Amino acid sequence: MADVSGVWLGTYWQYGSPTRFEMTLVQGKNTLSGNVLDDSSLGEANVTGEISGRTVTFRKCYLSGSRHCIDYFGTVSSDEKLMTGQWQEGIFNQGKWEAHRQDDNLTLSLEKIKSSPLQTVS
């Protein structure tokens, strides 16, 4: 079973227009919970779902406005750094989505770069 706990940066497309989002997931065995912040007027949402093997399904329910919910279906890549799939709201409103795992070790990577000797080109 894939491990999807952590921070994900993604995009979903609606009517051909992209919307960015940041999603934080916590996984307990095959159960998922977390939150999403969309780059749209809809804002913040809660997430609940499950994972089976590399298949991920979750429901995103917005906390403000109409508080509507959207269902997401997808697949986790073998390296667990990418999720791709489809979202659906009702019968007619649907589109594609993808999310990339955010590097949790950015500070460690920066420290490693800082401590490496500079290479000169002759």
Domain presence at residue 83: yes
| Structural domains in the chain (count) | 1
pLDDT values of the chain reduced to their tens digit, one per residue, 122 residues? 999 999 999 999 999 999 999 999 999 999 999 999 998 888 899 999 999 999 999 999 999 877 899 999 999 999 999 999 999 998 889 999 999 999 755 444 555 555 666 555 65
Is 122 among the domain residues? Answer: no
- pLDDT at position 67: 81
- Residue 69: inside a domain: yes
Domain membership of residue 81 (yes or no) is yes
- Per-residue pLDDT, 107: 44
Greatest Cα pair distance, the chain, in angstroms, is 63
Half-sphere exposure of residue 67, counting CA atoms within 13 Å on the CB side?
Answer: 2
44 within 8 A of 63, measured Cβ to Cβ: yes
Within a domain: 65: yes
In a domain, 56, yes or no: yes
Give the separation between CA 53 and CA 55, rounded to whole angstroms. Answer: 6
Contact 19, 33 (CB under 8 A): no
Q: Which domain holds residue 41?
A: 6-115
Question: How buried is 105 (Cβ within 10 angstroms: 0-12 exposed, 13-18 middle, 19+ buried)?
Answer: exposed
H helix or E strand, kind and range, residue 109? helix 106-115
Report helix, strand or coil for 76.
strand
Would you say residue 39 lies in a domain? yes
DSSP string, 47-59: EEEEEETTEEEEE
Q: What is the pLDDT of residue 84?
A: 98
Q: CATH no. for residue 19?
A: 2.40.128.120
> Tokens 């051909």, residue?
16
Q: Domain for residue 1, yes or no?
A: no
The tally of CA atoms less than 13 A away on the side-chain side of residue 78 is 0
The size of the chain, in residues, is: 122
